[in-house]
Every structure is written in structure tokens, then in C-alpha cells.
Structure 1
Amino acid sequence: MQRIGVIGVGEIGRALVEGLCEGGGEAPEVFLSPRGARTAAELAGRYASVRVCADNQAVVDSSQIVLIAVRRDQRHEALSGLRVGGDRIVVNVMAGVRNETLRATLDGDFPVVRAIPLPTVRERRSVTVTCPSHPVVDDLFEQLGGALPVPDEAAFDVFSALTGTLTAHYSYLATLTAWAGRQGVPPSEAERYVRSLFQGVGRSLGDEARALQQLAADHETPGGNNERIRTTWFDAANADALGKALDGLLADLG
């Protein structure tokens, strides 16, 4: 049975535990830090294989794989002084913290792998980028929807930048709903329709036989409504502005 520790039981930590414990078959033993006490206690009460440790060193000592999921600005408080044996594998899921930076905070000689798990790991539907590739870590994330190893942290930063577009998508949907409300549509009806519309788009993304450009073309009629919005709103200038925003984010990540 795998023994997995989680230091930092926020939204991503919770999602990881839920995905690991609800995947069918034998659940791993999961050891949680006391940080985020309410969430940790709730998870331990829900799953028989989950327990809350007295402190972060106990999490490390109990685990084969240690997932570090604290906020970047809290890492020194949470991690300073921790001793990590060479037989442990540390998974760094802190945004903006490079592996060598994390290694300098911890005491020990051990493998470190960066990863970008998303909340959908709880449904085992999230492809998780890892760097560098490690067979044990990649296998762990394969159980949660898939692993996408990349060769270096420069490539990893590109995927981190892509992840930074997620809430812009939700804001886009909220903007559509607000516009419909200004046209007199009841907000609840507008939101219900927008959710349904884009849930359908999400399902179509599962068709990996068609490239994204092909999916766009297949949903568009020449001279139709979709083509009109794409060409009048998401035009070359708009696409260029998005690219520049991503360039700026990537520069900061590096």
C-alpha cells in the first residue's frame, strides 16, 4: 500500500486526497499535516485510510511520497527545519517555487518533482504536468487522470502560464451572463443556459481525434453567428493582447 503525505490541506490538497481515496480499489494511506485543521479533520473522518499527524515532520516520517501544497508565502514557516530522508520523494505543487528553491528550504538529499495538479484530480480527470519525469510520481498522477512529464522547468513554466488563464475563462462566462441580463433575461436563466452551452463545449474537447482549430471550424458556419463574434471580437488584435499577457506572465515565472 502506498503511503502519501500532504503538507498543506487547502483546495488542491483536498482534491488530491479525494481523488486518491475514491478511485476504486485499495486506497493509499494518506497522512495530513495539521495545517488546515478543519479540512484535514473532515477528510480523516470521511476516509478510513486518512489520518492527521501531529506536525509536518510526522507527515514526512510516515510517507513514501510527500506532496508540498502550502502557499508560496507560507513555505518557510511550514517547511523550515524539516528533515527528509533520501528514500522519500517530494512533490512540489507550490506555484512559482522552483525545485532547487524548495530543496534549499528542506534538509536532506532526495528527489524533487514539480507538478501542476488541478482541482479536477478529485474526479481523476486532470492531466498533471510534472518535471522532471519520475516513474513513481508519474504513476501517481496517471491514477488521477494522466501525467504529462516535461524535460525542464522552462517548459514547465509555459504550462504554468497556460494554467493562469483558468479564471479568465470563468470571468468570460460571467460576462456573457451579465450581458444577457442587461437584455432583460432573468439572471438565473441566463446562467443556466451559459453553463449548459459551455459544458457541451467541454465534452467536445474529449474528441482528441480533432485538433482545436478543427473543432472551432466544425462549430462554425461561414457567415454565421459564431464566425461573426470570432472575427469581430476575438480578432488578431485581441489574440495578440492575450499572447502578450502570457508573455509577461511567463517572464515573471522564469
Structure 2
Amino acid sequence: MKAFGRWCMLMVCALLCLQVFFALRIASMNVIAPESTSFERSQIWQVLTRHGHLPWRQEWVDRAQISAQLQRAVLASEDSAFTQHHGIWWDSLEKAWAKNEKAKAQAERRAQRQGDAKPVEAKIVGGSTITQQLAKNLFLSGERTLLRKGQEMVLTLGLEAFLSKRRILEIYLNSVEWGEGVFGAQAAALHYFRKPAANLSAWESARLAVMLPRPRYFETRPQSPYLAGRAEVIVARMNDVALP
């Protein structure tokens, strides 16, 4: 029992040390931009495996060099309550949970009707805020476990505690994926529209914002009717969004 107690104590100490490391790393982002994220590093290997070389596009630019239109479009599409919450939007999480449970039940009923032994996998809805997405991309893997989700929430609260909303949005826009090997607003603007992020129009910004949940999918389907239609919706909503 004593050995088990010591093991538990060591695990707790290791977990606390990890949280201190995360806190120091986040605090440093006030003055030092992250060179890469955990998600980017995982994608580097996948891109190398597929292509044999690294077609990588990323260029950090200050928030002032990113079109306000793009900032508004991303908030309108991904997190319209960004300036109102403290990192976690509980109403959105509850709605996402209910949606996932409904989708799971429908998939199970479908499988029963079809006589499948294995249920059809349901599409999972996230309900994450921009701060949560940034926390996950910066530090965590893509696995879906309760432990990882708990760590994501701790990191989210840390980002909100140590960084301003303006800085969180700046880091997010410079590190989010916009296609295979395309990361950040500047790289996306140059890749899709051959212009810097500062010069993006409202419609161009909306199209980029709509791509965010599935950037590699829409990169190969530029004429998607959904992409065009959803972009029009985002353009109409952009002026209702408050920038930090």
C-alpha cells in the first residue's frame, strides 16, 4: 500500500509540474509567438509521408496586418460570443452534447434496421470556442478522451487568464490550418487569393472562415455550393460581431 501511495503521489506531482510548465509556456506567449503547434508538428509527418517533401506555407503577421474583415468572418463563423465568454461557452457545449447524443441514437437505430452488427459511426459536433481550439492545437493530440478534454479545459482557462482576447485571436489566426500544409491567415490569403491577409475583401474572408472546420476537404472542392452559400451567410453576419 505504501508503494502504491508513493506512486500516486509521484503521479500527482508530475501532473502539477506539467500544469506549471503549460502555465509558463502560455505566459511567455505574451511576448514570444509560438514557432509551431502540436497539431502542426503532427501534420508535418503526414505531409512528408504523402508527398515525399514538405510543401509548407506559414508566415506570422501581426494582428494589424490581418484584415478586420477576416477577423470578423472567423468570429462570425467559429465563435460569435468570443468577446463575451471566458474561454468555455457552456451553452454551446450543452447543445453540442445533445446533438451528438441524438446523432448517436439515430445511427444505432439505422444500424438495427439494416441488421448491422456494428453501429454506423455518427458525426461528432464539437461546440468548441476559439480559445478551446487554440488550446487543443497548441498542446494536445487529436484523440477524443475525457482526460484530454479535461486538460483542454484547464489549458483554455490558462490562455484566458494569461493572454488578452486580442492576443488569443492573433495566435489563432496565425496558426490555424487552412489546407494541406497551409497554416495561418497570411499563408491562406496568398495560397487562395494571391494577396496578403491585410487586403482580403469581406467575401474572400467569409470563404476562408467557412473552410475552417474542414480546410483540406474544401481545398479540393473550391466550387462547393455549400462553401459559396455559407460564405454569403457569414458576410451578412460579420457586422454584428464585436472584435476584441
TM-score (norm 2): 0.27
- Tell which structure's C-alpha radius of gyration is larger: 1
- Decide which structure has greater strand share: 1
- Decide which structure has greater helix share: 2
